[in-house]
Structure formats: structure tokens, C-alpha cells
């Protein structure tokens, strides 16, 4: 059967939309695009992959995953509990989900939250979010971070959890006055007279690395006692969540005074060196952040930290290894309660000489964490062990086990007092009441 050209034309006219209809559809599409919020437009615009990749690296430098990813949770969806002096808070969803995350944030909204601790809706963030450090992040890096969180992170619909802080302490408006008193909004500026490596290291340590958030003691208003090397308390060590974050100054015994540049870079890359091993929250810093730093940035961080003068020392003479007294105690452990516990539970990993098998198994002789004035970290790691260091995807074969169910408070006090005195460590004894208090607080937090 033949079909006329006239019939084909009619059929086509019936099957295809009219020119007017096409114009109408185009107008609707244009109107929908114009009606987008700035945040939606940013999320839907083509991503600059170089900028996204740069932001991904900076997010690792800032260790964003460690706080904003709960155990067994989805990346950056929040929900991790954090203990503060006011009560427990929960980290927020920073995925680009429009309803429960930051998908509705413009670049300006994001940078304001990053640097000033103010959310899109105007409420103040608790300074557990280290915005006093992030205030130093420069414009280019802030833009790269925004690009990553908008285009490099999968959106997750997960509602944020309200803090476990009772009224009236849960009111946030006083944080406006806290910010007026303690927040310096100026970004980092290179220090004259310092080379590029030093300034890069200072920028990373003080800014995105937010090292001071843990390693600097806090004042009565929970403010960091110093935000850079101009304050003697900066990075001099601090108690936080049952751990004593180590002294990072040049102090000889409890600080980095005996560490070489290579020692420090090795620790940041692998979590262990000939002096010490990472534990507590530092484990997640190594796993999520510092092992991923470029060699240039590792060298810069080391350059800056090694430039810090000694601070907050114990007043003890410089450490010098001497195993003689300890050797006698271990040969006759029946005469020393601490030596008995050490011989039964510690000797096979840390050795009679206290040198351990570094870097696989931490040394105890001269270990800065052993020599520190505050023994909280030693008590905590003995009670609760530590998580796995995971370097290049491979877990550490010898994590510290937990002894909370094996040893009582007196035994832990005895063995830690033995270790603190052994091999000429010369640190003060540990009291049984210190162990008991930390056992109760860490059990309550679990």
C-alpha cells in the first residue's frame, strides 16, 4: 500500500510537538533554572575536577572524616558523639544532602560556618568544631573545600542529632559573646623573616590541621590558651576526653626535643617511630589525615613544629637511659608489685630493657608519654587499649590490648608506677584513685 506525501506530512505533524510547544518547554526549563537557589545552582553546575581533588586533599589535611563520620556510619554523615564540659554533642551531617546536610549552603554560607562557626540558619556552632583554627584558612583553600563537599561527597539523608545538654546550658546565643572574646577572624599571613617551608607548616598546623584544638591547654571558658607560637602554652599538651594530648614543643623529656626531623615525619606518616606510637584519638588523625600529606607538607609541618621552643616541662633533668635498677627489679619481681605485673603482662612486648620493638611495639624507656606529668594517657591505654593504625590499608599487627577486665585498679597503678620509674624515666608514681576515676569516666563514655 502506498502512502501519499501529504499523509506522511500529516502524520509527522501529529507526532511532533509544535514550534510553539517547543518554545514553551524551553521557557519552562529556563524559568526552572533561574528559580534555583544559589546553592542549588552551585550543586548542579559542572564541577572543576582539579578544584574538587584539591578540596579532597585539604579535607584530609583537616581530618574532617574523623569527626564527621561515625563508627560504621556513612562518610561525612555525622553522628559521632563528642564529650564537652557542658555535655555530649553529636557531629553534624556535612554531605550535600539538601534536607539534612549542607546541600542548601552557598559558598558564602559554607565559608562562614568554616571560619566563624555560624550555620546557614544563623545558629552558632559549639567550638568543639575548631573554627577558631579554620578561621586562618585562606580563600582559595576554602573554595576548594566547598567544591569537594558539594561535588566530591555522596549526599546522605541522615538527620542531625540534638546535643545532650540540658537547659539553660544548651542556649547558643552566649557563643556570640564567646566569639567576640576569643575568635580572631583574620586568615593566616606569612611571617616575615621565615622561609616558605616554615610558613607553610605554620599555616597547616595552626589552620586546617587544628593541632592546637587538642594539644593546647584551654582556659576557664574552654578557649585555647594560645592560637600560635606567640603564646608559650601553644601545643604544650592538654587533657582531652581522658587522654593527655602530647607536648609538641621542643621540651626535652615530654616533648619533641629528642626527636629528629626524620623521627617526626615518620611518626606523622606511620603513627610510630623509635620514641613512641600513636594511641587514642591520634590514631584516627594518622589514619585519616597525616599519612596522606604530601612529602612537601610533611616536611613543612616538621619544620614548624621543630622550631617551637621548649614549654611546660616537668623540671626533670634531660632524660638519659639507665636500665640497672629496673633490671634488678625484673630479676626479682616477687619483691616489687609493679614488676610482678610487668613480668606477667608487659615484658613480652615491651622488653626487659624497655626498648620494646620499635616501631612495631612501642618503647617505654624515655617515651615522652611515659615521662609526661599527667599519666592519663598511660592509664587510659592500659585500661582500654587502642584502635588499629591502618597505614596504606594495612592494619597494625600489634595494637595495644585492653586490660580493664584483666587488671584491677591497684595492679594498673602498680605497673604504671613501675614503668614511670623504670629505665631512669624518673616520672611520678600513679595513684590508684587516678586509675579508678579514669576507669569510671571511660566506661561511662562507652
pLDDT band at 167 (very low <50, low <70, confident <90, very high): confident
Q: What is the pLDDT of residues 224-239, one digit of tens each?
A: 999 999 999 999 999 9
User: Using H for helix, E for strand and C for coil, what is the string for 61-108?
Assistant: HCCHHHHHECCCCCCCCECCEEEECCEEEECCCCCCCCCCCCCCCCHH
pLDDT attached to residue 87: 85
pLDDT classification of 47: cutoffs 50, 70, 90: confident
Which pLDDT does position 42 carry in this prediction? 54
The CA angle 265-91-165, to the nearest 5 degrees, is 125
pLDDT top residue among 274 and 20: 274
pLDDT of residue 44: 56
Q: What percent of the chain has pLDDT over 70?
A: 89
- What pLDDT score was predicted for residue 11? 39
More confident residue, 442 or 414: 414
Question: Do 233 and 217 meet the contact criterion of CB atoms below 8 Å apart?
Answer: yes
pLDDT tens digit sequence for 141-160: 999 999 999 999 999 999 99
Specify the pLDDT at position 444. Answer: 76
What is the pLDDT averaged over residues 185-212? 98
Q: According to the 3-state scheme, what is the secondary structure of 115-182?
A: HHCECCCCCECCCCCCHHHHCCCCHHHHHHHHHHHHHCCCCCCCCCCCCECCCCCCCCCHHHHHHHHH
- Which of 213-247 are b and which e, b meaning 16 or more Cβ less than 10 Å from the residue's Cβ? bbbbbbeeeebbebbbbeeebbbbbbebbbbbbbb
pLDDT at 288 over 60: yes
- pLDDT level of residue 38 (50, 70, 90 thresholds): low
Mean pLDDT of 434-438: 98
Give this prediction's pTM: 0.88
Residue 43 pLDDT class (50, 70, 90 cuts): low
> What is the pLDDT confidence band of residue 165, given thresholds at 50, 70 and 90?
confident
The residues that bridge with 69 in the sheet, in sequence order, are: 78
Reported as a pLDDT band with limits 50, 70 and 90, residue 36 is low
The number of CA neighbours under 13 Å toward the Cβ of 78 is: 22
The confidence score (pLDDT) of residue 223 equals 95
In this prediction, residues 126-132 reach a mean pLDDT of: 94
What residues are paired with 90 via a beta bridge? 81
Three-state DSSP at 322 gives coil
- Res 26: pLDDT: 42
**Is the pLDDT assigned to residue 16 strictly greater than 50?**
no
Whether the CB-CB separation of 390 and 399 falls below 8 Å is answered with no
pLDDT, tens only, 346-363: 999 999 999 999 999 999
Answer yes or no: is pLDDT of 25 > 60: no
Residue 171 pLDDT:
86
Residue range 210-216: average pLDDT?
97
pLDDT number for residue 45: 63
* Residue 170 confidence (pLDDT): 81
Q: What is the pLDDT of residues 380-405, one digit of tens each?
A: 999 999 999 999 999 999 999 999 99
* DSSP-derived secondary structure letter, 334: G
Asked if residue 21 has pLDDT above 60, the reply is no
Checking if the pLDDT of 373 tops 50, the result is yes
Q: Is the pLDDT of residue 19 over 80?
A: no
CA dist., res. 10 & res. 254, Å (int):
90
Identify the band that residue 46 occupies on the pLDDT scale cut at 50, 70 and 90: low
What's the mean pLDDT in 410-431? 98
Domains and CATH numbers, the chain: 43-161+170-178 (1.10.760.10), 196-445 (1.10.760.10)
Q: What is the mean pLDDT of the chain?
A: 90
Distances (CA, A) of 336 to 134, 396, 415, 419, 443: 50, 32, 9, 12, 29
Amino acid at each position: 500500500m502506498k502512502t501519499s506525501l501529504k499523509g506522511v506530512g500529516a502524520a509527522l505533524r501529529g507526532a511532533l510537538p509544535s514550534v510553539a510547544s517547543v518554545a514553551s518547554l524551553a521557557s519552562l526549563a529556563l524559568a526552572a533554572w533561574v528559580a534555583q537557589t544559589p546553592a542549588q545552582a552551585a550543586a548542579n553546575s559542572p564541577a572543576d575536577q582539579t578544584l574538587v581533588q584539591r578540596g579532597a586533599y585539604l579535607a584530609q589535611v583537616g581530618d574532617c572524616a574523623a569527626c564527621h563520620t561515625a563508627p560504621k556510619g556513612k562518610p561525612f554523615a555525622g553522628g559521632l558523639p563528642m564529650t564537652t564540659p557542658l555535655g555530649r554533642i553529636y557531629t553534624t551531617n556535612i554531605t550535600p544532602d539538601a534536607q539534612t546536610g549542607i546541600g542548601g549552603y552557598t559558598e558564602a554560607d559554607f565559608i562562614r560556618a568554616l571560619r566563624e562557626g555560624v550555620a546557614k540558619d544563623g545558629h552558632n556552632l559549639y567550638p568543639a568544631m575548631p573554627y577558631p583554627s579554620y578561621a586562618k584558612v585562606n580563600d582559595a583553600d576554602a573554595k576548594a573545600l566547598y567544591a569537594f563537599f558539594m561535588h566530591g561527597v555522596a549526599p546522605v539523608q541522615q538527620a542531625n542529632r540534638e546535643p545532650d545538654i540540658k537547659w539553660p546550658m544548651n542556649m547558643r546565643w552566649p557563643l556570640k559573646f564567646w566569639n567576640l572574646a576569643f575568635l580572631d577572624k583574620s586568615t593566616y599571613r606569612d611571617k616575615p623573616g621565615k622561609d616558605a617551608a616554615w610558613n607553610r607548616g605554620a599555616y597547616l598546623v595552626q589552620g586546617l590541621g587544628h593541632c592546637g584544638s587538642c594539644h593546647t591547654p584551654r582556659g576557664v571558658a574552654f578557649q585555647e590558651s594560645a592560637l600560635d607560637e606567640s603564646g608559650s602554652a601553644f601545643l604544650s599538651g592538654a587533657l582531652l576526653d581522658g587522654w593527655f594530648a602530647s607536648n609538641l614543643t621542643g621540651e626535652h623529656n615530654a616533648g619533641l626535643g629528642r626527636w629528629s626531623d626524620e623521627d617526626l615525619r615518620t611518626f606523622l606518616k606511620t603513627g610510630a617511630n623509635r620514641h613512641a606510637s600513636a594511641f587514642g584519638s591520634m590514631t584516627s588523625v594518622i589514619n585519616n589525615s597525616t599519612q596522606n600529606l604530601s612529602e612537601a607538607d610533611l616536611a613543612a609541618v616538621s619544620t614548624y613544629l621543630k622550631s617551637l621552643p621548649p614549654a611546660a616541662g616537668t623540671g626533670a633533668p634531660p632524660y638519659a637511659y639507665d636500665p640497672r635498677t629496673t633490671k634488678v627489679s625484673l630479676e626479682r619481681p616477687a619483691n616489687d608489685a609493679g614488676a610482678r605485673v610487668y613480668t606477667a603482662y608487659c615484658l613480652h612486648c615491651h622488653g626487659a630493657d624497655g626498648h620494646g620493638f620499635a616501631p612495631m611495639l612501642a618503647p617505654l624507656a624515655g617515651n615522652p608519654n611515659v615521662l609526661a606529668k599527667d599519666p592519663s594517657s598511660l592509664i587510659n591505654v592500659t585500661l582500654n587499649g587502642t584502635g588499629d593504625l591502618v597505614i596504606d590499608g594495612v592494619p597494625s599487627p600489634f595494637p595495644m590490648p585492653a586490660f580493664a577486665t584483666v587488671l584491677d585498679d591497684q595492679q594498673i597503678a602498680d605497673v604504671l608506677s613501675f614503668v614511670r620509674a623504670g629505665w631512669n624515666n624518673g616520672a611520678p608514681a600513679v595513684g590508684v584513685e587516678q586509675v579508678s576515676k579514669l576507669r569510671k569516666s571511660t566506661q561511662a563514655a562507652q
